[in-house]
Amino acid sequence: MARPQPPPWLPIDQAPNLAREAIDHAARSLASGNPRDALRAAGWAWHHQRYLREAYEMAGRAAREANEPELARAFSTIIAEPHAAGPWLQAGWALVDQGASDLAVPLLEEAHRIEPENLEARESLVIAYSDEGRHEDVVGLASTMNLGERPSVVFPLAWSALMTRRTDLVERAMAGLARLAERTPEVRGVYAKAAAALERYRAFPPDD
């Protein structure tokens, strides 16, 4: 899913207008038989934190028309049971899987807010933050997790720690990943990728 590019700066008083425009665009896209474009547009409405119920309803309709029944059910459940973390997590992760992490982040943040100790929500949010280059957020969340239990967050943590000059966390992440790779063959590729990234960083550190 292609990502719409946000403006570099948005005055807060413009958010309702932009969200309304996104909802209207989603409705037009549905009417013209383009549900995936409608889903992206609805996502920008909740990205601006306006017209949320209408945005989730529109996203659910778009998901159904795009033949994504699980995503559609997740949005329906968000509307019916907004205090349950599960549907927020399900919808958010589906969007991450489609390459729309920017739209997934608000949903995953809500899942994490509802259930702060939900490891799946935390893991999914780390991955979404990493996709969006939000290195401080990756470090803040992933550094509190058990890396042995959630190996998928090790590479995002190692890379974001490099980007934020947290060498202590880089060493912790790489050491934990090395131990895990020794006993888990499917993790060895992740370790090799992380080690190669670390070597590139050491050879060509980014400018301050």
pLDDT tens digits for range 50-103:
889 999 999 999 999 999 999 999 999 999 999 999 999 999 999 999 999 999
Distance between CA atoms of residues 159 and 171, nearest Å: 11
Distance between CA atoms of residues 205 and 167, nearest Å: 12
Distance between CA atoms of residues 173 and 156, nearest Å: 10
Q: What is the pLDDT of residue 95?
A: 95
Place 138 in a pLDDT band, splitting at 50, 70 and 90: very high
Higher pLDDT, 90 or 153: 90
Q: Where are the beta strands (DSSP E) in 52-119?
A: none
**Amino acid, res. 181:** A
pLDDT, mean over the chain: 87
Q: What is the pLDDT of residue 26?
A: 93
Q: What is the pLDDT of residue 33?
A: 94
Q: What is the pLDDT of residue 5?
A: 47
Distance between CA atoms of residues 53 and 59, nearest Å: 10
pTM for this entry: 0.83
| Cα dist from 55 to 6, 34, 122, whole Å | 18, 16, 24
**Residue 41 CB-density burial (10 A; 0-12 exposed, 13-18 middle, 19+ buried):** buried
Q: What is the pLDDT of residue 104?
A: 95
Q: What is the pLDDT of residues 115-124, one digit of tens each?
A: 999 999 999 9
